[in-house]
């Protein structure tokens, strides 16, 4: 009751301020831990990680690694912090985050505001061990070598993370998405992989893509991902499309997330899955707000899923609700383990 009143109060505030308060509440231990049993059908061994279930926190929620352990305690099975850039940066002027409540969506144009890799590294070091933690790698807006920034951040943060995601899909840094084009993508991935192989072979390297890629671009991404040997693809980031969105704030510039992104993002994921046929791990993110949404991503080809925007509407209990609903859906369809459903709608047949 008190918690739902708190959530309602947050939803009436400026969204950036509300997010800061939510992070402080997490840090202050005001959000209860998920202590109940997790169905064994959800246990996931993915990328060598042992996870109690496949639902994690998407990048951008804890940009500065301030609430990693509390987020794990609330029940998320893994956390991706960042985006982190080499140098700290302020991001775009405020307001830069908009709630589109009637669409259960959000638009943000933060522009990689973060404390920078030095401060964030100290925070991760102070946190200690425990849980699966990744970093979303970003590039400074004014960098003379954006493609090199990803490796710079990885080099600095590698001791404290299990995976790192090359984010060339944020719409809020002008020109960043151009790095998804064939040659630029090959360059950024091979340079970042070289750093990974040199200093931290145990850290998994992921690539996060936009939901606005054409089919030809998806083919390129699939081919390059397989050829370079990165470990996984995260599909997707926010969209520039406003399709299906009615709220007046739809006119704001930035990336759209939340419910209206679900179909578009899952379609990209499914295409990627059909193209790669299980040869690379996929992580599904974009518009998840229920167990059914998570299940749809898994059936499309995701081994793990992440979410952000729905948390602002439904609060931290959502992770437990999604995981338990997912377990029920798996059981309903005769799966004894979540891994059996991965890609069942795209590249795997139910027979055998």
Ligand X SMILES: Cc1cc2nc3c(=O)[nH]c(=O)nc-3n(C[C@H](O)[C@H](O)[C@H](O)COP(=O)(O)O)c2cc1C
Could you give the residue numbers annotated as active site? 170
Q: Would you count residue 287 as binding ligand X (CB under 6 A)?
A: yes
Instruction: With beta carbons less than 8 A apart as the criterion, state whether 215 and 223 touch.
Output: no
Shortest spacing between CB 263 and ligand X, in angstroms: 12
Q: Looking at beta carbons only, is 77 or 136 nearer to ligand X? A: 136
Q: Would you count residue 272 as binding ligand X (CB under 6 A)?
A: no
Token reading at 284: 């599904």
Q: Would you count residue 261 as binding ligand X (CB under 6 A)?
A: yes
Match 């496949």 to its residue by tokens. Answer: 54
Residue nearest ligand X, CB atom distance: 60
Q: Looking at beta carbons only, is 52 or 108 nearer to ligand X? A: 108
Q: Would you count residue 68 as binding ligand X (CB under 6 A)?
A: no
Shortest spacing between CB 84 and ligand X, in angstroms: 9
- How many residues of this chain bind ligand X (CB under 6 A)? 27
Shortest spacing between CB 338 and ligand X, in angstroms: 19
Instruction: With beta carbons less than 8 A apart as the criterion, state whether 86 and 121 touch.
Output: no
Shortest spacing between CB 349 and ligand X, in angstroms: 29
Among 286, 291, 316, 343, binds ligand X (CB under 6 A): 286
Q: Would you count residue 139 as binding ligand X (CB under 6 A)?
A: no
Q: Looking at beta carbons only, is 41 or 77 nearer to ligand X? A: 77
Cβ neighbourhood burial of 142 (10 Å; 0-12, 13-18, 19+)? exposed
> Dihedral of CA 29/115/170/231: which sign?
negative
Q: Would you count residue 276 as binding ligand X (CB under 6 A)?
A: no
Among 77, 167, 173, 303, binds ligand X (CB under 6 A): 167
Q: Looking at beta carbons only, is 287 or 316 nearer to ligand X? A: 287
Shortest spacing between CB 112 and ligand X, in angstroms: 6
- How far lies 176's CA from each of 163, 171, 184, 191, 273, in Å? 21, 7, 10, 16, 24
| Residues 197-236, mask of contacts with ligand X (x by CB under 6 A) | -----------x----------------------------
Residue of 275, 255, 271 lying closest to 263 (CA atoms): 271
Q: Looking at beta carbons only, is 104 or 275 nearer to ligand X? A: 104
Q: Which stretch binds ligand X (CB under 6 A): 70-78, 104-112, 141-149, 199-207?
A: 104-112
* Rg from Cα positions in the chain: 19
Q: Looking at beta carbons only, is 76 or 335 nearer to ligand X? A: 76
Q: Would you count residue 151 as binding ligand X (CB under 6 A)?
A: no
Q: Which residues bind ligand X (CB under 6 A)?
A: 58-60, 63, 82-83, 97, 106, 108, 110, 136, 167, 170, 208, 237-238, 257-258, 261, 285-288, 307-310
């Amino acid at each position: 009751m008190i918690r739902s009143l708190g959530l309602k109060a947050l939803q009436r505030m400026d969204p950036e301020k509300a997010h800061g308060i939510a992070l402080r509440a997490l840090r202050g231990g005001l959000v209860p831990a998920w202590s109940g049993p997790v169905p064994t059908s959800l246990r996931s061994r993915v990328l060598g990680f042992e996870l109690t279930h496949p639902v994690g926190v998407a990048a951008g929620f804890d940009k500065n690694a301030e609430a990693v352990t509390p987020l794990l305690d609330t029940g998320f099975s893994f956390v991706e912090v960042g985006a982190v850039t080499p140098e700290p940066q302020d991001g775009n002027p405020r307001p830069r985050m908009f709630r589109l409540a009637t669409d259960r969506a959000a638009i943000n144009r933060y522009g990689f505001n973060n404390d920078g890799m030095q401060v964030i590294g100290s925070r991760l070091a102070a946190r200690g061990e425990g849980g699966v933690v990744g970093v979303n790698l970003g590039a400074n807006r004014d960098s003379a070598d954006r493609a090199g920034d990803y490796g710079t951040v990885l080099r600095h943060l590698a001791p404290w993370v299990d995976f790192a995601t090359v984010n060339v899909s944020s719409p809020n840094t002008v020109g960043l998405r151009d790095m998804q084009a064939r040659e630029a993508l090959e360059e950024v991935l091979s340079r970042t992989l070289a750093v990974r192989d040199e200093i931290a072979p145990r850290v998994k390297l992921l690539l996060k893509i936009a939901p606005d890629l054409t089919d030809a671009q998806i083919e390129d991404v699939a081919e390059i991902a397989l050829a370079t040997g990165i470990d996984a693809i995260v599909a997707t980031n926010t969209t520039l499309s406003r399709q299906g969105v009615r709220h007046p704030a739809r006119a704001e510039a930035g990336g759209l997330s939340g419910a209206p992104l679900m179909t578009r993002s899952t379609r990209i994921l499914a295409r990627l899955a059909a193209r790669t046929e299980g040869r690379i791990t996929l992580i599904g993110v974009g518009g998840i707000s229920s167990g059914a949404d998570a299940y749809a991503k898994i059936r499309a080809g995701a081994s793990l899923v992440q979410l952000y925007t729905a948390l602002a509407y439904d609060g931290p209990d959502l992770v437990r609700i999604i995981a338990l609903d997912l377990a029920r859906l798996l059981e309903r369809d005769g799966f004894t383990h979540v891994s059996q459903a991965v890609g069942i709608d795209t590249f795997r047949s139910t027979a055998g």
